[in-house]
Amino acid sequence: MSKKVLIVDDEPNIVISLEFLVKKEGFTVAVAADGEEALAKVAEFSPDLILLDVMMPKKSGFEVCEALRADPARSGLKIIMLTAKGRDTEMAKGLALGADAYMTKPFSTKDLIARIREVLAA
């Protein structure tokens, strides 16, 4: 059975390219456009991994990550945070909140797929 990936980003162009890329690699994909929708989608879609943007309306990626990590039922869920903010403090915050990996935009598609496979295998 293919692994399920939830893409959470408020930029339609990024969502379209990520969705195409991830589906092409054989994953089942769902999409959410903001933090609140992300939490609802996690409940209904039960993804194995979330590609989570940091800067979003309603709830930030940090808030979503924190909420998911506080839920014992979601302890196996893998989270890769994606952001245009590559400062060390931002990365440290994401990892401290429980993200499994942190990638700064722009990133190469090859690197992203490698990171997805690496995180899912861990």
Burial annotation 88-121 (CB, 10 A radius, 16+ → b, else e) = eebbebbeebbbbbbbeeeeeeeebeebbeebee
- Chain position carrying tokens 């945070």: 81
DSSP-based three-state secondary structure for 31: strand
The yes-or-no verdict on residue 86 having pLDDT over 70 is: no
80 phi, psi to nearest 5 deg: -110, 115
Question: What's the structural domain count of the chain?
Answer: 1
Which domain does 30 fall in, by range?
4-121
CATH number for 104: 3.40.50.2300
The answer to whether residues 100 and 78 touch, using CB atoms and an 8 Å cutoff, is yes
Model confidence over 42-79: pLDDT tens digits? 999 999 999 999 999 899 999 999 999 999 999 899 99
Say whether pTM exceeds 0.75.
yes
